[in-house]
Every structure is written in structure tokens, then in C-alpha cells.
A and B are shown apart, each in its own frame.
Chain A
Amino acid sequence: MDLGIKGQTALVLAGTRGIGFGCTEALAEAGCRVVFNGVTPDSGRIALAKLKGHDVHYVQGDVMKPRDRDRIYDEARAWLGKDVSILVTNSTGPAAGSFMSKSLDDWREAFEGNMLNAVDFAYKTIKGMMEAGYGRIVNINSMSAKEPSYNTPLGNGVKAAMVGAMATLAREVADKGVTVNNILPGPIETDLLRRFTKHMLNRPELSDEEATRLFGESVPAKRLGTIQECGALCAFLASRHAGYITGQSIPIDGGLIRSMY
């Protein structure tokens, strides 16, 4: 399928590893010019090596920090030489632990790092998208925004908040050729998953590997998802074909969510 986004300009946040990298790679393969950021230069170098031959650019920076966000955007805009038309927001999830163990400052930090990062970049990029009459915002969220997982109250709360915020934005810009959607990944094989699985299973005594394997077996698909599958969904939502899909939250979870809607 030709996605019709060859030559489009994309910015992928936290795009050096995991699902973010899956999106970076899928957009690059669809012919987009992609800027992606990551916190550690090492992860940037590794990602760049994997993306050899594609028109991509790495920017060091932490999307959780407001000042870094400004710099990431400025560098991306400069390298692209034009406005961003496809924005993929992503961030590492906040620390796990029970609701009762979290302080108000934990909530403030999670809000800043895992919700406002996306809102901030939406503000930075949306004007250009509206002027061009074409724009795609795809937020990498989590299935926990739909079915809260145990021991991740910060993620459950702020990621749900992001869905509500983006749902509002989606309707405001729907007649300008700009769509805003969320991807709700379930268990995808990433470092993050390996770290969190035992908490999601409510079995902190398990090793990461054991917990990950158990979790895979508990999914109707009997396996974990891949970052390439997430990337493909992201690229489709960014494509010309997906122009009538907006304000939606689409799970990619091997059938794990039980709720019908």
C-alpha cells in the first residue's frame, strides 16, 4: 500500500528505542523525512545505524523537560527546513508503585513528563499543519488509559488525561485536514515492558524474563506484539488514507483488552 506520505516531514518523540523507534522506522520506510529524539546519545547512534539509507536526523533531548522540548523542536524545524506535518508523541512511562505510595509531586512530574510533553509539541506543530491543510498527530499512549493496570496509577491517570485532551483538539482541527489519534499498545516487546510486567501481573517476585513470558501466554494472541506492528499502525494513521479517522484511541494488544469497545 502506498501511504501517500512520501516527502512528508515527521517528528517522532522518544523515537530511538521501543515503540517510538518502530514508528521512526515505519515512517522513514514510507518515505518521510524523520527527526527523532532520545535522551542518550548512544541510543541515538544505535538507531541511526539501523536506519542507514533513510532520510533521518537524531536530536538529543529529554521530552520530559520543557527547555529540552523547545530545543528539540527548533533543531527539528531547522533540519527539516519546513514545518512538521506528522507528529508522533511518545515518552517513557512514569514509575510504577501503588496509588497510596505516590506523592503529589510524583503526580506533577508524571503530568509534566507524560502528558504535557505531547500537549506542548501539539501546540508547537499544529499551526503549520493547519496552514498546510495536512497534519497527523499520533500519540503513543497505553492500553492502561482504557483498562487501568495494577500499580501504575500515574500512567493510568495522566495517559487517560491525554486521551481527553487530544479528543478535544481532534474536533477543533478536524476540518483543517489535521487528524489526532492515539495508539494504545498492549504488551509489546520492549525494554519498558520487560521492566513493568511483574508489576502489571501484581507479582513483584518474578524475574523480568519469567514475567514477560507469562504475560505473553496470557494474551489471546499467545505472544507479545512487535514494535514493527506498532510502527505499521502509526504509519497507517499518518497516511493519506486515514484522513477520516480522528479523535480515536486504537488498541494494539493481541486481544488483551476484554472490553468490547
Chain B
Amino acid sequence: MDLGLKGETALCLAASQGLGLACAKALAEAGVKVVINGRNAERGKKAVASLGNGAAFIPADLTSDADRARLFDEAKRHLGHISILITNADGPKTGPFLERNLDDWRQGLELTMLPAIDLAQRCVPDMTARKFGRIINISSISAKEPTPNTPLANGLKLGLIGAMATLAREVARQGVTVNNILPGPFDTDLLRRVAPFLVAKPEMPQEEAVKLYGERAPVGRIGQVAEFGALCAFLASRQAGYMTGQSVVIDGGHVHAIY
């Protein structure tokens, strides 16, 4: 399928590894010129080499207001305009609700919600002017079915969905769509880190917990990041122009709710 994205451009946040990088790869393969961001320059360079198609890496800490402003300016300079924004973030602190404090929640807001909101606000004017734009937020199934021991992510990722649902309706007439992808268990570092909490066995070795978590999904395995990238590229495509404000689950049947 030709996604109709040749000559388009994308800024992918927190995309030097894992799901973010998978999105960048799928977009680059569809002919999109991509800027990826991350904190680790070494990892960024390696990631960019795997992309081609004029891709660039811009280091930035997404929790810093100044870094985000610089990231946007540099990305725009490199790309000319930004037609696709993929937002992503490191997971906030884990552990029981009752062990977190209000400052944990405040930090969670800065990490999980505000970077996506800020970059969306910066990118939207060009998107609406060109009558084509795609904002895709990498969320989590925990925004739909809260997982134990990840109260910050459960709360704040749902908060971002509420915010983005509003933006989706504001820009729907201008050819801009705003959607969320809700991944279940995928083969990433982040999953390895939180897996023991997800299976409610904090003491279990990470690899074992990952396997157990995967087995709980009806499909019996964790997802491959390339599968995730493909969904992202589809949502960014010309074909997906009538889908907006949606939260699409990709989880091997993990979520039990019908809707």
C-alpha cells in the first residue's frame, strides 16, 4: 500500500529506541524525512544511521521548556515544515498509588503530558496552513485498563488522551488528525523494566516477568516493535484522514474490555 507520504516530514519524540524508533523507521520506509529526538547522543547517532532518507537526530530533554523550544526550531530548520508529529515519553515513576506523593504526580505531568501538548501546539499552525497534519501519541493500554502499580502512567496517559481528544475536534476541518496508539506488551527496554510490576511480582527477574506477561495475552507473546511502527505509519497515511480523536489498541488481545 502506498501511504501517500512521500516528501512529508516527521518529528518523532523520544525515538532513539523502542516504540518511538519503530515509528520513525516505518515512516522513513514510507518516504518520510524524519527527525528523531532522544537524550543519549550515542544511541541517537546509531538510531539515525538505521533510518536513512535524510534523517537527523536532535538531542533534547523533553522535560525542559528550553530544550523543547530548541528541538522544535532545529527540527523545523532541518525539515522545512513538520507534517507529522509522533509524541512519546519515558514512563513515569512506578510503584503503588499509596507510595507516591504529590511531587511525583507533578513530575509525572511534566514528563508524560506537557511535552506532547507543547510540541503539538508548536506544530499545529504549519499543519493547518498546509491542510495536512498528523499527530500520533504513543500512549498505553493502561489508559484504557489501568495496570496495577503504575498509577502515574494510568492517570497521566489518560489525561493526555482527554487533552488530545479536544485538539482533535479543533483541527479536524483543517486536514489534521490527532490519534493515540495504546500498545500492550512490546519488546522494549521499558517493558523489561516495568514487567515485574505489571505481573504484580516486583521481585521476579525481568526476563521471566516479560515472558509471563506475554503469555497472558491471548496471542501468547509480546509484540514486535515493527508491528507497532506499521500501525503508526498507517495512522499517518493519507488513507487515515477520516480517523481522528481515536485511541487504537495494539496488544494481542490483552485488554478485556470490548470497547
Contact = CB atoms under 8 A, between A and B. Distances in A.
A100 interface: yes
A79 interface: no
A108 B257 CA distance: 32
Interface string A82-116: 00000000000000001110001001100110011
B259 A158 contact: no
Nearest to B109: A111
Contacts of A148: 162, 165-166, 169, 245
A235 interface: no
A145 B143 CA distance: 12
A55 interface: no
Size class of A's contact patch?
A: 35 or more
Nearest to A120: B102
Determine chain B's interface SS by DSSP, over half rule.
helix
Interface stretch (A13-21, A35-43, A166-174): A166-174
B162 A107 contact: no
Given A99-B163, A157-B160, A164-B154, A261 B259 contact: yes
B124 interface: yes
Nearest to A69: B102
Contacts of B98: 123, 126, 169, 172-173
A60 to B, nearest CB: 22
- Please tell me the size bucket of the interface on B: 35 or more
A79 B13 CA distance: 51
A162 interface: yes
A64 interface: no
Chain A interface, >50% SS class: helix
A187 B121 CA distance: 30
Given A98-B170, A123-B101, A168-B146, A163 B158 contact: yes
Interface string B146-170: 1010111011111111110111011
Contact of A156 (B142, B151, B152, B163): B163
Contact of A104 (B65, B142, B162, B169): B65
A115 B105 CA distance: 10
Contacts of A151: 166
B96 interface: yes
A134 interface: no
A131 to B, nearest CB: 13
A260 B258 CA distance: 11
B243 interface: no
11 contacts: A66-B102, A104-B114, A107-B163, A115-B105, A116-B106, A119-B102, A145-B162, A148-B162, A150-B169, A162-B159, A168-B97
Interface of A: 66, 98-100, 104, 107-108, 111-112, 115-116, 119-120, 123, 126, 144-145, 148, 150-154, 156-165, 167-169, 171-173, 247, 259-261
Given A116-B105, A168-B155, 5 more contacts: A107-B109, A107-B163, A116-B106, A157-B166, A164-B142
